Structures are given as C-alpha cells and as structure tokens.
Amino acid sequence: MPKRILLIDDNRDVADALAALVEFEGHQARCAADGHEALLVAGLFLPELAFVDWRLPDMSGGELVDQLRLNPALSHTRYVLLSGHTDPDIAAKAAAAGFDKCLTKPVRLEDLLACL
C-alpha cells in the first residue's frame, strides 16, 4: 500500500534523490529543507513516515520531531533519523529525541526500503 513520506534535509539534492527512490517504489513523497518548512508541509501532507536529518539550518532534527509530535494529526507518523552526523552516540541521541529508527548516510537502499 502506498505511503506518504516526508524527506527533511537541508541538502535539496539528497532529499530530491530520496524522494525519487521512494516514488519509484510507488509511494508519495514531499521534501522540506528546514524545520519550519517541514512543520508546514507535514501539517498539510500528513506523512506516515518522515526521514529527518539531524542538522537543519533552523533547528535540530530532535527539536523538529518534538514539535511534529505535538500535532495530533501526526500521532501515527514514524520518524527515522537519516544523517551523516558522525557522532558515535547518534543512535542513542536519536532514540532519546523520539526517533523510531536511526540510519546513517550514505544509506543503503535496502535499509531505506526496509523502513517503508
């Protein structure tokens, strides 16, 4: 069954490439380049899954997930950290921030698709 997927990354090329991949798999995708845009898009698009970068220009991915979780319409959205951040404790930080899963860039296609 097709899913609505939001890709949040300040690198538009990365977000667009991932959007093309998930659309090729039959899903709907939208992209956002920062936290404020993500809040707007998520409120309208109501994604079932969001891939979120850790470092955004206006807030951290953790701060963004906190704000997204305040919206009752997004109560069933799953959040996956997708970051190139090299902190060895990133998975623990992601879990503490409310992410459901943590993936690192460059992401393997099979790992990305397993989240869908």
Domain definitions of the chain by residue range: 1-54+68-92
78 strand-pairing partners: 49
Nearest-5° Cα angle at 40, 80 to 107: 25
Q: Is it the case that residue 60 has pLDDT exceeding 90? A: yes
| Distance, C-alpha 34 to centroid of its chain | 11
- Record the tokens describing residue 11, joined without a space: 């690198």
**Whole-model pTM?**
0.94
pLDDT band at 66 (very low <50, low <70, confident <90, very high): very high
Task: Report helix angle 61-68 to 35-45, nearest 10.
Answer: 30
Q: Is the pLDDT of residue 63 over 90?
A: yes
Strand partners, 32: 8
Q: Whole-number mean pLDDT of the chain?
A: 93
Q: Predicted confidence band at 41 (pLDDT cuts at 50, 70, 90)?
A: very high
Q: What's domain 1-54+68-92's architecture? A: 3-Layer(aba) Sandwich (3.40)
Q: What are phi and psi of 11, to 5 degrees?
A: -95, 100
Residues 6+ apart with CB under 8 A from 44: none
Higher pLDDT, 66 or 87: 66
